Chain A
Amino acid sequence: MGKEIIEAQNVVFGYPLEGGRKSPVLRDVSLSVAEGSFVAVLGHNGSGKSTFAKHFNGILTPDSGTVTVCGINAAQEDRLYDIRRQAGMVFQNPDNQIVATIVEEDVAFGPENLGLPPEEIRRRVDKALTAVGMAEYMHHAPHQLSGGQKQRVAIAGVIAMTPRCIILDEPTAMLDPQGRREVMEAIKKLNQEQGITIILITHYMEEAAQADRVVVMNDGRILLDGTPREVFSHVQELKDVGLDVPQATELCWRLRQEGCNLPEGILTEEECAQALAQLLEVGPHACH
């Protein structure tokens, strides 16, 4: 902890338009991510969050400014393989990320391409599938799996490369609630038990609430950056930029506006229920 794994400085980026112009997406964004942290990135569609994330493993390179990943400048084309081994990426649709017809072969795809000895590949595949709770499915065909299971296989494929950092771009958008829970559990475990840095882009506020740090992007800039408690206390500001807060946070915020005496920074349903219980115990005097 403490060491920076990703360091973005004054990043400016635009997608090319006809006639040589560019449509600006990132307007001078700087961010450092400490190794071992779990950072959630929020922002409305078009805020630039996916574009920004694609700079973290060299899929895109800045028009100006620099991005350093594990000490390597991501603009150095000859170091791309090194960067991608250290910083793996998981996308929204699991069906677009699975290449083999058997789960264990899919997870082995990356390590095989590194030219590792078979025993090492075997060890990594087993370890990666165990880490995401999919070891018992290693001989299954991916199409027989649920969305949450497929997404965990995709994550295992990244882990088998032993990265220090995983960037997930809305990995739960296409999943049902059970699948979402499974993927979030897997991500948190990798972060806590293996110390892998997690960058999670999501539209689900309840998922962001589980991170150590939340970064909110708007119009190609960073609008808010802090712990979930700090960031989600800016309810009105978040709503103004088309975002939301967890329902637990919103309920307390709405009741505070009605004059009820409730603390700020409520994030989880347990905290909310506890705060409401105290409010109800006090009775009508708790509101003015």
Chain B
Amino acid sequence: MLAIKTEGLTYTYSVGTPFEKTAVDHIDLEIEQGEFVGVIGHTGSGKSTLIQHFNGLLKPTSGRVLIHDTDLWAKDTDRRAFRFKVGLVFQYPEYQLFEETVYKDIAFGPVNMGLSAEQVDQQVREAAAFVGLREEILQKSPFELSGGQKRRVAIAGVLAMNPDILILDEPTAGLDPKGREKVLGEIKAYHKKRGNTVLLVSHSMEDIARYAHKVLVLNRAGVMMYDDTAAVFSRAEEIWKGGLSVPQVTRIFSLLREQGFPVNESVYTMDFAVQEILRLLGKEASHA
């Protein structure tokens, strides 16, 4: 089943003014249910505009958006329900915390879904546990927490709605390497357990390479590539020209290939890189 399908999706800002700009231009896209998709593209490539269509925050100028086969903008569609089915975590979501306690902030979504108090409680606690927030933090004010903890609270607030499709816009921006790994590991575990669809927007190619099964590359308001991670990163040169980059290990292997070594075309993670060198040396990795 398709989680997301767009047909000729086009969005133009400030129509009829001198600032008119088409940010998303005739995008046809099909994302399967259960996929973990990395979304990359330079600033202004249309990423943020595109993802805001998936839960109905923006209405297409033309074209259609279908979520689980339902046209979001058909007359009889209950769009409110899709705000819960498609959870969107914005950039720097910690600035959106507003409640007195962490618990209330995470509960905001589930309460608005009209769930019973018990159900709300269960979903809040599950979501908090997923992002590694301890019980005692739940009764604190979100403003007493560190930046990394606040970020987790904001992500938990979206997870607590149990969305079928989870979209995260740069969830690790400004976090240190350990913090990045932790947050992404939690999202990966959530994806594995729930089997839902995850879209991860990131400027970090290393993070995308490590976590995403497929990669969507946007360029100039259109889709430049949508393919398996390995296939996308094997087209390093095109990606580089699109103002993006590929993981450093991928570039190292491109250099080796240029020198005539028969290395695999799509080395994009550290583990893969180590194994590939050892394979060429006729040696097994000791702990792969």
- Could you mark each residue 248-288 of chain A with 1 if its beta carbon is under 8 Å from any beta carbon of chain B, else 0? 10110011001010000000011011001101100110110
A254 to B, closest residue via Cβ: B274
Q: B146 to A272, Cβ gap below 8 A? A: no
Decide yes or no whether A178 CB sits under 8 A from chain B.
Answer: yes
Q: A244 to B177, Cβ gap below 8 A? A: yes
Q: How far is the CA of A181 from the CA of B285 in the complex (A)?
A: 35
Decide yes or no whether B28 CB sits under 8 A from chain A.
Answer: no
- The range of chain B's interface size is 35 or more
- Could you mark each residue 174-193 of chain B with 1 if its beta carbon is under 8 Å from any beta carbon of chain A, else 0? 11111100000000000000
- Could you mark each residue 240-273 of chain B with 1 if its beta carbon is under 8 Å from any beta carbon of chain A, else 0? 0001110111011001100101000000001001
- Could you mark each residue 32-46 of chain A with 1 if its beta carbon is under 8 Å from any beta carbon of chain B, else 0? 000000000001111
The winner among B173, B175, B177 for most chain A CB atoms within 10 A is B177
Of A148, A181, A205, which is within 8 A of B43 by CB?
A148
Output the least CB separation between B102 and chain A (Å): 18
Q: B248 to A243, Cβ gap below 8 A? A: no
Q: B251 to A269, Cβ gap below 8 A? A: yes
Decide yes or no whether B132 CB sits under 8 A from chain A.
Answer: no
Of A174, A178, A255, A277, which is within 8 A of B42 by CB?
A178
Decide yes or no whether B16 CB sits under 8 A from chain A.
Answer: no
Q: B281 to A254, Cβ gap below 8 A? A: no
B 39-87 contacts with A by CB, 8 A: 41-44
Q: A277 to B256, Cβ gap below 8 A? A: yes
The winner among A180, A181, A250, A269 for most chain B CB atoms within 10 A is A269
Output the least CB separation between A218 and chain B (Å): 11
Decide yes or no whether B283 CB sits under 8 A from chain A.
Answer: yes
Decide yes or no whether A142 CB sits under 8 A from chain B.
Answer: no
Of B175, B179, B243, B255, which is within 8 A of A177 by CB?
B243
Output the least CB separation between A275 and chain B (Å): 10
Output the least CB separation between A283 and chain B (Å): 7
Known contacts A255-B277, A270-B255, A279-B277, A203 near B175 by CB under 8 Å: yes
Of B42, B251, B261, which is within 8 A of A176 by CB?
B42
B172 to A, closest residue via Cβ: A203
Q: How far is the CA of A116 from the CA of B255 in the complex (A)?
A: 52
Contacts of B261 in A (CB 8 A): 277, 280
On A, residues with C-beta under 8 Å from B are 43-46, 92, 146-148, 170, 173-181, 203, 205-206, 242-244, 246-248, 250-251, 254-255, 258, 260, 269-270, 272-273, 276-277, 279-280, 283-284, 286-287
Excluding A45-B179, A174-B174, A247-B206, 13 further A-B contacts by CB distance (< 8 Å) are A43-B176, A146-B42, A173-B173, A175-B43, A176-B41, A178-B42, A181-B245, A203-B177, A206-B248, A248-B248, A255-B274, A280-B256, A280-B281
